[in-house]
């Protein structure tokens, strides 16, 4: 049992640029369960909840308020591929802080760094309107995070370098 660490590798106001970098990073990974991708957004009022669920029918609502029956709520949507994830994210980013998380990935082995293939902690995330993975505070930026095993700073740096990016800040505790 453990949690990932999440290294930021891009902050930009251009959502298309963030999604483009995510697609490049995904091309480095392999999948052990290709359907492992979902979007999550927070609804803190009824209007946002309505707009999120109307924009993407089929989204699941999980209540977090008093007795798990009142706001705030988490709105979650499973997606099947990067293109569908991008379209849904573009829609939800105009409504609320949200993120897309690709999990069930495998990061490649990096023999020159003594790193074997990684699947347990391999994830990729684009957080919209946020600088953190939980989307706690609103910003105008979108942040791309590489999730990996705690202590694998060199894996995150290596993955970023493969797509002409770099780690731009310290890791935060992941999932």
pLDDT greater than 90 at residue 84: no
Task: Tell me what percent of the residues of the chain surpass a pLDDT of 90.
Answer: 80
- Work out the average pLDDT over 81-109: 92
What distance in Å separates the CA atoms of residue 32 and residue 47, rounded to the nearest whole number?
Answer: 38
Asked if residue 26 belongs to a domain, the reply is yes
pLDDT the model gives residue 175: 85
pLDDT the model gives residue 114: 97
- For all residues of the chain together, what is the average pLDDT? 93
Asked if residue 55 belongs to a domain, the reply is yes
How many structural domains compose the chain? 1
Asked if residue 71 belongs to a domain, the reply is yes
Asked if residue 37 belongs to a domain, the reply is yes
pLDDT greater than 60 at residue 1: no
Asked if residue 30 belongs to a domain, the reply is yes
pLDDT the model gives residue 79: 86
pLDDT greater than 90 at residue 65: no
114: left (phi over 0), alpha (psi -120 to 50) or beta: left
- Work out the average pLDDT over 77-103: 90
pLDDT greater than 70 at residue 32: no
55 burial type by CB count under 10 A (0-12 exposed, 13-18 middle, 19+ buried): middle
Asked if residue 175 belongs to a domain, the reply is no
Write out the two tokens for 91. 């829609």
Domain region containing 34: 5-170
Max CA separation in the chain (angstroms): 52
Contacts (Cβ under 8 Å, ≥6 apart) of 144 = 8, 9, 10, 18, 21, 22, 25, 124, 125, 126, 165
């Amino acid at each position: 049992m453990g949690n990932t660490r999440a290294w930021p590798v891009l902050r930009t106001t251009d959502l298309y640029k963030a999604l483009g970098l995510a697609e490049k990073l995904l091309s480095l990974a392999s999948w052990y369960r290709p359907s492992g991708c979902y979007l999550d957004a927070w609804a803190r009022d009824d209007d946002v909840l309505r707009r999120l669920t109307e924009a993407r029918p089929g989204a699941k609502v999980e209540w977090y308020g008093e007795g798990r029956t009142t706001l705030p709520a988490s709105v979650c949507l499973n997606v099947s591929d990067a293109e569908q994830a991008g379209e849904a994210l573009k829609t939800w980013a105009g409504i609320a802080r949200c993120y897309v998380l690709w999990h069930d990935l495998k990061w490649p082995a990096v023999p020159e760094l003594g790193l074997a293939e990684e699947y347990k902690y391999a994830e990729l995330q684009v957080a919209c309107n946020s600088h953190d993975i939980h989307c706690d505070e609103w910003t105008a930026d979108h942040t791309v995070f590489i999730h990996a095993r705690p202590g694998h700073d060199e894996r995150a740096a290596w993955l970023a370098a493969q797509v002409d990016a770099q780690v731009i800040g310290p890791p935060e505790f992941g999932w």
